[in-house]
Structures are given as structure tokens and as C-alpha cells.
């Protein structure tokens, strides 16, 4: 009877799931990097705090954002772009920490994309209720490089569609340490995040943080 207590509980979630041709969900992939990633994240947000940006149409996004790396994704009244300078501070974005490059490069390789060297990491913070509507990541110059997305904190429903906005998206639950990689045939597929359900995460508290790595330039 006591022996049963020590038997591993089987994880019912498969460790990898194909979302589309070129797209894969790697469950728990960021676990070995987690502590270092979170420590580096704290340093980044001390230099470049989260802010809720405005779209060119004048709507304030529900997701708060910041960036690290040589290029940061920004949106304002003039539209979307990558910019080397944080418009709030007038300074360059914080450098991409080594551990960020490592997790992104290794996840990309596990997804079939060897040699991924991101120059931009968009950091999204979702409070309960925050969402991201369906969109394509198409502001980058080089579509041969994949997108690598690392989830931390509260679980979210990730919507992954197809090449057309009207393609009905499938829904995937992304948990702490899960990584999604999409590139090649699905590089420009529409994706988004459903409104975040409220909760309290043991490590991250009442929020979800997502790191999306890109080769922007």
C-alpha cells in the first residue's frame, strides 16, 4: 500500500502535440530554464516596465507589453513597427538574456527549425480578462524563421487557426512552461488568446506572461 504513494502519477497530457504542419506544442519544455528565465524577466521589467499600448485606431490593448533584444515590437497612433528604442524611456530595449536565447533556440530546434537566433522578444502580460484577438505575426522581415512562444503563469486558451482570418481556430490550453513553435507552412497562420480566466498561479501569481521570440530584422 505504501509503495503506491510513490508511484508517479501519469501525465495525461502528451509532451508534444502537432497543431498544424510546421506548428507544435511542446508541453513543459521551459521547465529546466524556468528559474533563470523568471529572474531575467524581473531585471527586464525593472528597466522597461509593462505598458498598455494603443493601436493606430486609438484602442488601448488589454495585454500589457514590453520587449527585450535588439528590436522591440511597438504600436501607437502611427501603426505597428519594430523599434530598437523603448519609446517610454528613449533608451534601447534591455538586452536579450542568454537564457532567453537558449530556450528559444532549443525549442525551435525541437520543432524542426535549427539555428533560430531571435533578435526580438515581445513580452506580454495578461491580467484576468485580457485577451489577444486573432492576428498574424507579419511585421518581421524574415518569414523563414519560426515564432517561439513561452507561457508562464495562469493557463490560457490559445487559438490557432489557418492562413485566412475566417479559418476556424482550434483551441489549446497553454500552461506554465509550455512552449509553442510555429514556422514554415504555418508561419503566417492566424492566432490569438481567449480572455484569461481568473486564478492564482503558485509561481507567477494572478497573471499570465508570454514571451514571443522572433527574428524581426
35: cell is 528559474
Which one, 65 or 99, has the nearer CB to ligand SIN?
65
Q: Would you count residue 140 as binding Fe ion (CB under 5 A)? A: no
CA contacts within 13 A on the Cβ side of 213: 28
Q: Would you count residue 132 as binding ligand SIN (CB under 6 A)? A: yes
Nearest to 80 by CA among 129, 162, 136: 136
Residues 189-208 that bind ligand SIN (CB under 6 A): 191, 193
Torsion angle defined by CA atoms of residues 167, 133, 80 and 155, in that order, rounded to the nearest 10 degrees? -120
Q: Would you count residue 137 as binding Fe ion (CB under 5 A)? A: yes
Which one, 15 or 170, has the nearer CB to Fe ion?
170
Which one, 99 or 132, has the nearer CB to ligand SIN?
132
DSSP annotation of 205: B
Q: Would you count residue 210 as binding ligand SIN (CB under 6 A)? A: yes
* Binding region for Fe ion (CB under 5 A) out of 21-29, 97-105, 106-114, 131-139: 131-139
Residue whose C-alpha cell is 495578461:
126
Angle formed at CA 161 by CA 190 and CA 30, multiple of 5 degrees? 80
Q: What residues make contact with Fe ion under the rule CB under 5 A?
A: 137
- Interface residues with ligand SIN (CB under 6 A) are 122, 124, 132, 149, 158, 191, 193, 210, 212
Amino acid at each position: 500500500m505504501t509503495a503506491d504513494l510513490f508511484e508517479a502519477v501519469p501525465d495525461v497530457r502528451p509532451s508534444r502535440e502537432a497543431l498544424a504542419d510546421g506548428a507544435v506544442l511542446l508541453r513543459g519544455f521551459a521547465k529546466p530554464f524556468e528559474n533563470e528565465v523568471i529572474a531575467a524577466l524581473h531585471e527586464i521589467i525593472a528597466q522597461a516596465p509593462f505598458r498598455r499600448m494603443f493601436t493606430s485606431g486609438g484602442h488601448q490593448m488589454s495585454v500589457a507589453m514590453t520587449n527585450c533584444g535588439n528590436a522591440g515590437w511597438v504600436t501607437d497612433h502611427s501603426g505597428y513597427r519594430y523599434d530598437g528604442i523603448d519609446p517610454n524611456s528613449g533608451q534601447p530595449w534591455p538586452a536579450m538574456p542568454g537564457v532567453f536565447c537558449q530556450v528559444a533556440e532549443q525549442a525551435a530546434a525541437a520543432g524542426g527549425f535549427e539555428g533560430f537566433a531571435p533578435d526580438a522578444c515581445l513580452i506580454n502580460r495578461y491580467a484576468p480578462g485580457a485577451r489577444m484577438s486573432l492576428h498574424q505575426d507579419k511585421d518581421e522581415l524574415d518569414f523563414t524563421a519560426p515564432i517561439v512562444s513561452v507561457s508562464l503563469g495562469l493557463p490560457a486558451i490559445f487559438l490557432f487557426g489557418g492562413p485566412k482570418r475566417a479559418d476556424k481556430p482550434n483551441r489549446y490550453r497553454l500552461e506554465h512552461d509550455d512552449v509553442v513553435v510555429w514556422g514554415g507552412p504555418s508561419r503566417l497562420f492566424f492566432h490569438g488568446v481567449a480572455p484569461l480566466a481568473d486564478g492564482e498561479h503558485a509561481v507567477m501569481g494572478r497573471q499570465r506572461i508570454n514571451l514571443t521570440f522572433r527574428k524581426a530584422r
